Amino acid sequence: MELATEPDIYIPSIDDNGNYVDKTPSFNNLKNGIRCPCGARKDKTYDNITYFNAHIKTKTHKKWLEDINLNKKNYHAENIKLKEIIGNQKLIIAHLEKEVSLKLKTIDYLTQQLTSKDNISNNTETVTNLLDFD
Protein backbone atom coordinates (compact mmCIF):
# COMPACT_ATOMS: atom_id res chain seq x y z
CA MET A 1 0.00 0.00 0.00
CA GLU A 2 1.44 3.34 -1.02
CA LEU A 3 0.89 6.56 0.90
CA ALA A 4 -1.00 9.32 -0.89
CA THR A 5 0.81 12.63 -0.89
CA GLU A 6 -0.94 15.98 -0.93
CA PRO A 7 0.18 19.23 -2.53
CA ASP A 8 1.53 21.96 -0.28
CA ILE A 9 -0.78 24.78 0.75
CA TYR A 10 0.18 28.27 -0.38
CA ILE A 11 0.80 30.75 2.43
CA PRO A 12 1.37 34.40 1.54
CA SER A 13 4.47 36.13 2.91
CA ILE A 14 4.43 38.99 5.39
CA ASP A 15 6.05 42.31 4.49
CA ASP A 16 7.84 44.76 6.82
CA ASN A 17 4.52 46.40 7.76
CA GLY A 18 2.94 43.10 8.82
CA ASN A 19 0.73 42.83 5.75
CA TYR A 20 0.27 39.66 3.76
CA VAL A 21 1.72 39.85 0.26
CA ASP A 22 2.06 37.36 -2.55
CA LYS A 23 5.48 35.83 -3.08
CA THR A 24 5.90 33.07 -5.62
CA PRO A 25 7.19 29.94 -3.92
CA SER A 26 10.06 27.92 -5.31
CA PHE A 27 8.63 25.04 -7.28
CA ASN A 28 11.97 23.18 -7.15
CA ASN A 29 11.15 21.74 -3.71
CA LEU A 30 7.49 21.03 -4.42
CA LYS A 31 7.05 17.44 -5.55
CA ASN A 32 3.25 17.53 -5.61
CA GLY A 33 2.62 21.15 -6.62
CA ILE A 34 0.86 23.78 -4.57
CA ARG A 35 -2.78 24.52 -3.79
CA CYS A 36 -4.05 28.01 -3.03
CA PRO A 37 -6.75 28.29 -0.33
CA CYS A 38 -8.25 31.47 -1.84
CA GLY A 39 -11.16 29.59 -3.36
CA ALA A 40 -10.69 30.85 -6.93
CA ARG A 41 -10.35 27.31 -8.24
CA LYS A 42 -11.17 24.79 -5.58
CA ASP A 43 -8.89 21.75 -5.51
CA LYS A 44 -6.72 23.14 -8.31
CA THR A 45 -3.06 22.19 -7.96
CA TYR A 46 -0.45 24.39 -9.60
CA ASP A 47 2.59 22.53 -10.88
CA ASN A 48 4.63 25.40 -12.29
CA ILE A 49 5.46 29.06 -11.70
CA THR A 50 3.74 30.35 -14.85
CA TYR A 51 0.28 29.05 -13.94
CA PHE A 52 0.65 30.06 -10.29
CA ASN A 53 1.74 33.61 -11.18
CA ALA A 54 -1.31 33.90 -13.46
CA HIS A 55 -3.48 32.65 -10.59
CA ILE A 56 -2.28 35.24 -8.05
CA LYS A 57 -3.28 38.00 -10.49
CA THR A 58 -6.95 36.93 -10.52
CA LYS A 59 -9.63 39.09 -8.86
CA THR A 60 -10.68 36.31 -6.52
CA HIS A 61 -7.16 35.75 -5.23
CA LYS A 62 -6.53 39.48 -4.78
CA LYS A 63 -9.83 39.83 -2.87
CA TRP A 64 -8.86 36.91 -0.63
CA LEU A 65 -5.50 38.50 0.15
CA GLU A 66 -7.22 41.82 0.91
CA ASP A 67 -9.68 40.07 3.26
CA ILE A 68 -6.82 38.38 5.11
CA ASN A 69 -5.12 41.74 5.64
CA LEU A 70 -8.36 43.33 6.89
CA ASN A 71 -9.10 40.48 9.31
CA LYS A 72 -5.65 39.85 10.81
CA LYS A 73 -6.89 40.19 14.39
CA ASN A 74 -9.77 37.81 13.77
CA TYR A 75 -7.42 35.22 12.29
CA HIS A 76 -5.13 35.54 15.30
CA ALA A 77 -8.02 35.11 17.74
CA GLU A 78 -9.31 32.14 15.74
CA ASN A 79 -5.83 30.60 15.76
CA ILE A 80 -5.68 30.85 19.56
CA LYS A 81 -9.12 29.21 19.87
CA LEU A 82 -8.16 26.42 17.49
CA LYS A 83 -4.97 25.70 19.45
CA GLU A 84 -7.04 25.42 22.62
CA ILE A 85 -9.51 23.09 20.92
CA ILE A 86 -6.67 20.91 19.63
CA GLY A 87 -5.17 20.72 23.11
CA ASN A 88 -8.52 19.66 24.59
CA GLN A 89 -9.04 17.08 21.85
CA LYS A 90 -5.59 15.61 22.51
CA LEU A 91 -6.54 15.19 26.18
CA ILE A 92 -9.84 13.58 25.26
CA ILE A 93 -8.14 11.20 22.82
CA ALA A 94 -5.52 10.23 25.43
CA HIS A 95 -8.26 9.55 27.98
CA LEU A 96 -10.24 7.45 25.50
CA GLU A 97 -7.14 5.49 24.46
CA LYS A 98 -6.43 4.71 28.12
CA GLU A 99 -10.04 3.64 28.61
CA VAL A 100 -9.93 1.38 25.52
CA SER A 101 -6.67 -0.17 26.69
CA LEU A 102 -8.16 -0.92 30.10
CA LYS A 103 -11.25 -2.48 28.53
CA LEU A 104 -9.12 -4.62 26.22
CA LYS A 105 -7.17 -5.91 29.21
CA THR A 106 -10.45 -6.69 30.98
CA ILE A 107 -11.74 -8.55 27.93
CA ASP A 108 -8.50 -10.55 27.69
CA TYR A 109 -8.65 -11.42 31.39
CA LEU A 110 -12.30 -12.49 31.26
CA THR A 111 -11.71 -14.50 28.09
CA GLN A 112 -8.82 -16.26 29.77
CA GLN A 113 -10.99 -17.00 32.83
CA LEU A 114 -13.76 -18.32 30.63
CA THR A 115 -11.49 -20.60 28.62
CA SER A 116 -9.82 -21.87 31.81
CA LYS A 117 -13.20 -22.88 33.25
CA ASP A 118 -14.15 -24.57 29.98
CA ASN A 119 -10.89 -26.55 29.96
CA ILE A 120 -11.32 -27.59 33.59
CA SER A 121 -14.92 -28.72 33.05
CA ASN A 122 -13.99 -30.61 29.85
CA ASN A 123 -10.98 -32.36 31.35
CA THR A 124 -12.55 -33.55 34.60
CA GLU A 125 -14.37 -36.80 34.62
CA THR A 126 -17.44 -37.17 36.70
CA VAL A 127 -16.91 -39.73 39.43
CA THR A 128 -19.98 -41.34 40.85
CA ASN A 129 -19.92 -43.62 43.83
CA LEU A 130 -22.10 -46.55 42.87
CA LEU A 131 -22.46 -47.66 46.49
CA ASP A 132 -24.51 -44.56 47.21
CA PHE A 133 -27.38 -45.79 45.03
CA ASP A 134 -30.14 -47.61 46.88
Question: In this model, does residue 119 exceed pLDDT 70?
Answer: no
Counting residues of the chain whose pLDDT is more than 70, the rounded percentage is 85
pLDDT at 130 (0 to 100):
60
Listed in order, strand segments (DSSP E) in the chain are: 8-9, 13-14, 20-21, 34-35, 45-46
Alpha carbon 99 to its chain's center: 21
More confident residue, 72 or 16: 16
Q: Which pLDDT does position 124 carry in this prediction?
A: 57
- Tell if the pTM clears 0.85, that is, is over it: no
- Could you tell me the residue ranges of all domains in the chain? 1-70, 72-122
The pLDDT assigned to 64 comes to 94
